[in-house]
């Protein structure tokens, strides 16, 4: 009497299963365009939302609330649309994305601090040029961090080579083994 065991080499959720394969992730250029559209669009909407929310609370609190909400929304959009992971991000990805946003914020603040250390009274045009340049460079850096580190699982990334999946050994059930367990 031989017991039937399930074949464990392929599960329905394995990436090699043809029926449940997720769509291919967009290429680097398409991802970057989507990153700019999503992040820029949410940024513009946030700039209108802060003054509206500031009518009910202090401006600094309104800015913090809108920043947190927009970062959460952007992370959702980046996971589903920009980088095509096919699923919503978990807390780990939200924290990593928030960390990259905080680093981008620090870069723009440092650029403005450096500008004011070098030039005591820069003009508005100079301030805008420095801020936009720093913001653009920070955005490119954030895109690279998100693409290469945060949203890499589910597709092969340049820094994470794919490990081969080895099948689990199938147990051999003999009649004697079955008789001792029953």
3-state secondary structure of 166: coil
| Residue whose structure tokens are 């080499």 | 9
Mean pLDDT over 23-39 rounds to 85
Tens of pLDDT, residues 50-98: 889 989 999 888 888 988 899 999 999 998 888 888 888 888 899 998 9
Please name which of 156, 150, 160 lies closest in space to residue 78, comparing C-alpha atoms.
Answer: 150
Strand-pairing partners, residue 160, are 157
Whole-angstrom Cα distance, residue 52 to residue 62? 9
Q: Is pTM, for the whole model, over 0.95? A: no
Residue 9, pLDDT above cutoff 70: no
pLDDT reported for residue 84:
83
Tens of pLDDT, residues 96-139: 989 988 998 889 889 999 999 999 999 989 998 998 898 889 98
Instruction: Find out whether 84 and 34 touch, Cβ atoms under 8 Å.
Output: no
């Amino acid at each position: 009497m031989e017991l039937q065991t399930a074949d464990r080499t392929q599960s329905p959720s394995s990436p090699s299963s043809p029926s449940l394969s997720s769509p291919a992730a967009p290429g680097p250029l398409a991802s970057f365009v989507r990153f700019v559209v999503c992040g820029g669009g949410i940024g513009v909407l946030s700039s209108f939302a802060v003054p509206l929310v500031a009518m009910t609370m202090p401006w600094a609190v309104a800015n913090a609330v809108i920043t947190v909400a927009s970062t959460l929304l952007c992370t959702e959009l980046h996971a589903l649309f920009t980088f095509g992971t096919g699923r919503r991000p978990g807390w780990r990805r939200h924290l990593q994305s928030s960390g990259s946003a905080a680093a981008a914020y620090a870069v723009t603040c440092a650029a403005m601090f450096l500008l004011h250390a070098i030039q005591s009274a820069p003009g508005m045009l100079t301030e805008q040029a420095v801020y936009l340049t720093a913001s653009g460079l920070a955005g490119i850096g954030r895109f690279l961090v998100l693409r290469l580190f945060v949203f890499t699982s589910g597709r092969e990334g340049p820094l994470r080579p794919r490990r081969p999946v080895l099948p689990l050994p199938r147990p051999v059930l003999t009649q004697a083994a079955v008789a001792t367990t029953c």
